[in-house]
Amino acid sequence: MGQLFYEDVQVGAEIPSLKRAATTEQLVRYHAAAGDWDRIHFDYPYARSVGFPDVILQGMLKAGWLAQMITDWAGPKIWVKKFGTQYRHIDVPLDTLTCKGRVTNKSVKDGEHLVVLEIWVQNGKGEVTTSGAATVRLPARN
Amino acid sequence: MVQIRSIVTDEMRKALRIGEELGSYTYEVGRSWIRRFASALGDPNPVWTDEESAKKQGPFEALIAPPTFYIVMDPVETKEVNLQGFLDHIPYRRTILANAFNEVEYFQPMKAGDVITVTTTYTEIIEKDGRSGRLVFPVRENVYRNQRGELVAKSRCSHVAGYDLSQNKES
């Protein structure tokens, strides 16, 4: 995997997108790893009874994919210092989701080379279901 | 615009113990836990799973937790803090209950082997009108400290519950 340096980043540049479609197995695996036991993510009759069309993806699973998109793009020598996501619409298993991002700012602060990213997830219909922002410290060439 | 009265009562604010630290919860950032978490995300990057790769390629010469790992140490998600039951007793038909937002800021890396102590405080209940009716957000903040008592991270998270104010809940 290559490493991105601060000097290489242009404000406005898009981050290579990451596509994911979650199976119900993945939702349960994420549950087990994250220790979040809300039944809307694994209990189909319960999810239906509270008004969802299916079990729904954990917001933090989608957040995890957005974080993976950032590491895949920038390389291993980075540190994600700030990371936030908000959930506007639910997502369901097997819909193909696309994680996307764009550089909105770059600056050097207290000796750290930082880039700010706008990040979001689109569902199969192209609707933005999740949006957020991240501040990432990159290595510099000089 | 018609001003509709708040459906959040002082009893609900009391139930959330707004502004009060809700005890301390301690978690070990175990390597196998990080590996299981990265595997559950489907992230094959060796910097999360292999100590040598992390030391050689990473920024800190140590294996650090993935950016979203803080959520596994959220006492509300793990139900160790369970004060949101009042959302079941708001007397209108509930249209949605789901996660609303999760934000984290790291002040130093969270390294494998760290022992993290988390304190949770509910800071406010936000109420607003949205697509799913009246929306109620019980907002909580976590402070993460390591085994040396140093600040590692702060998070701000909330669920959202929506209510249809035209329909009273059937008793």
pLDDT computed for residue A104 by the predictor: 98
Do B83 and B159 form a contact (C-beta atoms < 8 A)?
no
| CA–CA min distance A12, chain B (Å) | 23
CB-based contact B39 A33, cutoff 8 Å: yes
CB-based contact B59 A139, cutoff 8 Å: yes
The order of strands in the sheet holding B133-145 is A14-20, A97-109, A112-122, A128-138, A79-87, B92-106, B151-168, B133-145, B115-130, B21-28
Do B48 and B30 form a contact (C-beta atoms < 8 A)?
no
Name the pTM for this structure: 0.96
CATH of region B10-28+69-168, choose from 3.10.129.10, 1.10.3720.10, 3.50.50.60, 3.40.630.10: 3.10.129.10
pLDDT computed for residue A20 by the predictor: 98
Q: What is the largest CA-CA distance in chain B?
A: 62
The two structure tokens encoding residue B73: 């140490």
pLDDT computed for residue A17 by the predictor: 98
Q: What is the pLDDT of residues B129-161, one digit of tens each?
A: 999 999 999 999 999 999 999 999 999 999 999
pLDDT computed for residue B2 by the predictor: 57
pLDDT computed for residue A35 by the predictor: 85
| Helix, strand, coil fractions of chain B, as percent rounded to 5 | 25, 40, 35
Question: Residue A89 gets which letter from DSSP?
Answer: S
| CA–CA min distance A21, chain B (Å) | 11
- Alpha carbons B149 and A61: distance in angstroms, whole number: 29
Helices B31-41 & A24-34 angle (0-180, nearest 10) = 160
**Confidence check: pLDDT of B1 > 60:** no
Q: What is the pLDDT of residues B69-96, one digit of tens each?
A: 999 999 999 889 999 999 999 999 999 9
Residue whose C-alpha is closest to residue B102's, from B155, B152, B138? B155
Cα three-residue angle B146-B151-B155, rounded to 5 degrees: 105
Do B101 and B158 form a contact (C-beta atoms < 8 A)?
yes
- Alpha carbons B57 and B121: distance in angstroms, whole number: 36
CB-based contact A79 B47, cutoff 8 Å: no
pLDDT computed for residue A37 by the predictor: 78
For an interface test with B, the pick among A25, A70, A80 (most B C-beta atoms closer than 10 Å) comes out as: A80
Contacts of B74 (CB under 8 A, 6+ apart): B118, B120, B142, B155, B157
What chain A holds in terms of domains, given with CATH numbers, is 6-21+57-138 (3.10.129.10)
Contacts of A68 (CB under 8 A, 6+ apart): A18, A99, B41, B42, B43, B45, B66
pLDDT computed for residue A135 by the predictor: 98
Q: Where are the domains of chain B?
A: 10-28+69-168
- Alpha carbons B18 and A81: distance in angstroms, whole number: 27
Residue whose C-alpha is closest to residue B72's, from A96, A61, A16, A22? A61
pLDDT computed for residue A7 by the predictor: 97
A111 close contact with B: CB closer than 8 A: no
N- to C-terminal Cα separation, chain A: 21
CB-based contact A20 B99, cutoff 8 Å: no
3-state secondary structure of A140: coil
Do the bridges between strand B115-130 and strand B21-28 make them parallel or antiparallel, or are there none, so unpaired?
antiparallel
Contacts of B167 (CB under 8 A, 6+ apart): B92, B93
Q: What is the pLDDT of residues B33-43, one digit of tens each?
A: 999 999 999 99
pLDDT computed for residue B167 by the predictor: 87
Amino acid identity, position B64:
I
- pLDDT tens for chain A, 142 residues long, are 589 999 999 999 999 999 999 999 999 999 999 987 789 999 999 999 999 999 999 999 999 999 999 999 999 999 999 999 999 999 999 999 999 999 999 999 999 999 999 999 999 999 999 999 999 999 999 7
CB-based contact B40 A83, cutoff 8 Å: no
- A window 25-54, beta carbon within 8 A of B: 26, 29-30, 32-37, 40, 50-51
